[in-house]
Chain A
């Protein structure tokens, strides 16, 4: 089956620093990847759609200058949380599309102190 990996699985950082999260499709090429955020006891909220070779499309209310997305290859998308603050602490999950289905990475738990 289609496998999506994410790195790191957990990260703790100080307020004001930047954190990069990588999402890789391991056995298929993904022209489109998605980034979600999930706060405790809540649903997955779509943050942005990442398109290989072009700019990401952000959902309403998501700051594109704070959440930088780069999709430079068909198997890798990165999300950089810039100037992280405690309210950015969350579970970040990427997803890669293959035909109709979306395959999810294992998630990255970000804690900002």
Chain B
């Protein structure tokens, strides 16, 4: 089955700086790569996703890049704000298998 590795497990950045989280996957048949943000005690919220036919997708301060050859994809958050602090998960199907998560702390 799919195996998803996520790094780093924790990440602290100063407010306004950028944050990058990386994931690798094992199943070359995977074609959909979502990123989720989860706050304590709540369900994961989809923040951005990318399909295998594109290499990059951007939505305001959030972007995702995909390298299918290397089987890795990354989440980029620019101009970080304190409300970005949460746990972020990458995932790859099918069905969705999650990485171990990255606890992002944005220091004001």
A residues with CB within 8 A of B = 32, 34, 42-46, 49, 59, 91, 93, 95, 97, 100-102, 104-107, 109
Contact = CB atoms under 8 A, between A and B. Distances in A.
Contacts, number: 47
Given A43-B89, A100-B51, A49 B95 contact: yes
B95 A104 contact: no
17 contacts: A34-B95, A43-B89, A43-B99, A44-B89, A45-B98, A59-B1, A91-B41, A93-B44, A95-B95, A97-B95, A101-B34, A102-B34, A102-B95, A104-B43, A105-B43, A107-B41, A107-B43
A14 to B, nearest CB: 23
| Interface of A (DSSP majority class) | strand
Given A100-B93, A109-B41, 8 more contacts: A43-B98, A46-B97, A59-B1, A100-B31, A100-B51, A101-B34, A106-B42, A106-B43
